[in-house]
Chain A
Amino acid sequence: KAGVTQTPRYLIKTRGQQVTLSCSPISGHRSVSWYQQTPGQGLQFLFEYFSETQRNKGNFPGRFSGRQFSNSRSEMNVSTLELGDSALYLCASRFGGGWTEAFFGQGTRLTVV
């Protein structure tokens, strides 16, 4: 059974640019959550998608957006990149209910220069 796949693994962007990250969940999982991990703040919740609908959103500016497709793959987009957006972006996949069967992808390391 394939795990959660995030692409790309590494990305370097310039301030002001935009970026799109992708997350392919485990087959059959309908929920995808996104987290930003930085050394100072730890893992912070961005948003969760379930069956193509955003169910919850964290306290991030509107520059951070996401979507989910009918095959449950999800993308997140960050527009007008700032230096502070440099982080490891992780997605977590689960069937729908509890968190004991949630699995994280390897993450996308975004560096903004």
Chain B
Amino acid sequence: QKEVEQNSGPLSVPEGAIASLNCTYSDRGSQSFFWYRQYSGKSPELIMFIYSNGDKEDGRFTAQLNKASQYVSLLIRDSQPSDSATYLCAVGGNEKLTFGTGTRLTIIP
């Protein structure tokens, strides 16, 4: 079992709709969770982080964490073509981030 798992996609969402990205992790003791966006040919960019159970909102982005289910999600509201990218879920430890393989998201105009 991989430490961090994501559906690789591709996920296609119409412009203006909600994109929902999911991630599960295996280490029940994990405390910090991150979502990175990576455009093709570019480096990962942190867009959201969450430490506590529940929802955390920042603009059009909402991160959701359920530690009992070992599940993290990212919702993107009012999806825009500029949101088309690969989204990486990561779990933070003291010395490393453990990444999922990423979900490729395409927003269809």
Contacts and interface: CB of A to CB of B under 8 A. Distances in A.
Interface of A: 33, 35, 40-45, 48, 55-56, 58, 90, 92, 98-100, 102, 104-107
Interface stretch (B12-20, B61-69, B72-80, B90-98): B90-98
B97 A99 contact: yes
Interface of B: 32, 34, 42-46, 49, 88, 90, 92, 94-102
Contacts, number: 51
Given A42-B102, A43-B88, A100 B46 contact: yes
A41 B101 contact: yes
22 contacts: A33-B96, A33-B97, A42-B88, A42-B99, A43-B44, A43-B90, A43-B97, A44-B99, A45-B96, A48-B96, A58-B96, A92-B97, A99-B32, A99-B34, A99-B46, A99-B49, A99-B97, A102-B46, A102-B97, A104-B44, A106-B42, A106-B43
Contacts of A100: 34, 46, 49
Report the 6 A-B pairs with minimum CB-CB distance, sorted nearest first.
A56-B95, A42-B101, A104-B43, A43-B99, A45-B96, A99-B92
Given A45-B96, A58-B96, A99-B92, A105 B43 contact: yes
Give the dominant DSSP class at B's interface.
Answer: strand
Contact of A90 (B44, B90, B94): B44
B32 A45 contact: no
Nearest to A104: B43
A98 B91 CA distance: 12
Among A42, A55, A90, A107, the one with the most B-chain Cβ atoms within 10 Å of its Cβ is: A42
